[in-house]
Amino acid sequence: MATYFIADTHFGHENVITYSHRPFVDVSEMDAALIENWNSRVTNNDDVYIIGDFCFKVSKEQAIRYAKSLKGRKHLIVGNHDKRYLKDAVFASQFVQIADILDLAINGERIILCHYPIAEWNGYFRGSWHIYGHIHNKQSNPAFAFLRTQERALNAGVEIIHYTPATFEELKMYNEVHRNLVNPNLTT
Classify residue 51: in a domain, yes or no. Answer: yes
Domain of residue 38, residue span: 3-182
Q: How many other CB atoms are found less than 10 A from the CB of residue 48? A: 22
> Looking at the 3D structure of the chain, how many domains does it have?
1
The enclosing domain of 96 has a CATH number of: 3.60.21.10
**Per-residue pLDDT tens digits of the chain, which is 188 residues long:** 999 999 999 999 999 999 899 999 999 999 999 999 999 999 999 999 999 999 999 999 999 999 999 999 999 999 999 999 999 999 999 999 999 999 999 999 999 999 999 999 999 999 999 999 998 876 666 677 777 778 899 999 999 999 999 999 999 999 988 777 654 444 43
pTM given for the model: 0.93
Q: If you count them, how many residues does the chain have? A: 188
Q: Is residue 33 part of a domain?
A: yes
Nearest to 81 by CA among 17, 140, 16, 20: 16
Residue 150: count other Cβ atoms within 10 Å of its Cβ: 19
pLDDT at 141: 67
188 located within any domain: no
Give the 3-state secondary structure percentages of the chain, helix then strand then coil, rounded to 5: 30, 20, 45
CB atoms within 10 A of CB 37: 17
Flag whether 30 is in a domain. Answer: yes
Say what the pLDDT of residue 183 is: 47
Residue 122 located in a structural domain? yes
- What integer pLDDT is reported at residue 186 of this predicted model? 44
Report yes or no on 22 lying in a domain. yes
Instruction: Say if 187 falls within a structural domain.
Output: no
